[in-house]
Amino acid sequence: MIKPVILMGSGGHAKVLAAMLKKLDCPVLGVTGPALAEGGEVFGFPVLGGDNAIANFPPDRIELVNGLGSLPRDQGLRQRLFEQFHARGYAFKTLVDPTAMLAGDVVLGEGVQVMAGVIIQAGTQIANNVIVNSGAIIEHDCSIGCHNHIAPGAVLCGAVITGDNVHIGSGAVVIQGCSLGAGCIVGAGSVLTTSIAGRHIVYPPRSIIKNLERD
C-alpha cells in the first residue's frame, strides 16, 4: 500500500517536488513549514501548519518529503530536519522523477530525491537524504554519501566517492576515480581532477582548491 505523504517546506525546491508528486500520482496530505499557518493551500495542497503539525499523524501511517533545498554553506539545515524527524520514527519517501534514467542495480537510500532528466549508471550507490538535481549525470560505480547535493547539470564521471554533506555545484565535473571528503564543496562550473580531503572547496576558473577551515 502506498502511504500518503506530507511535504515539508514551501520554497523553490518544495515547489519542484510538489510537481513531481503530482506526476507520480502520490497521495499528499498537505504541506508544513515554519512560516505556514494552518488553512489555505500551497502548490494545490492543503496547508497543515508548522512542522509540529506532523505529530498529529502516526509515523507508521505516513511518509515525509524533505522539501528543504541545499545550498553550499547550509547543507546542515536539511540534514538536521531529516535527523530530527527520523529520530521520532518518521520515514522519508524516496522519489524518482519519471523522466530520470536509472540502471537496474542502482541503490537509493531513504529520502533520496532524483529529479527530472537525471542519469544514474550501473553500480552506483546513493546514501540517505541526497538530492540528485535536474539533469545531473552520475556514471558507473559511484558511491555518494548522506546529505549530498548533486546540483543541476553536474557530472560525476565514474567511480567517484563522496563523504557526507558534499555539495557539487551546477555544471561541475568530477573526473573518474576522485574521492571527496565530508563537507567538500565543488563550485559551479569547476572541473575536479584530483581527490580532496574533507572540508575543502574547489572553484573556477582554474579549479583552485582551498581548505575551508583556514579560509
Residues annotated as part of the active site: 140
Q: Where are the alpha helices (DSSP H) in 24-91?
A: 75-86
Query: Residue 132, SS3?
Result: strand
For the record, the C-alpha cell of 39 comes out as 488553512
Amino acid (one-letter) located at 207: S
Contact between 30 and 7 (Cβ < 8 Å): yes
Q: Rounded CA gap, 113 and 120, in Å? A: 12
Q: Rounded CA gap, 49 and 32, in Å? A: 5
CA angle 147, 14, 162 (to 5 degrees): 15
DSSP letter at 196 equals: B
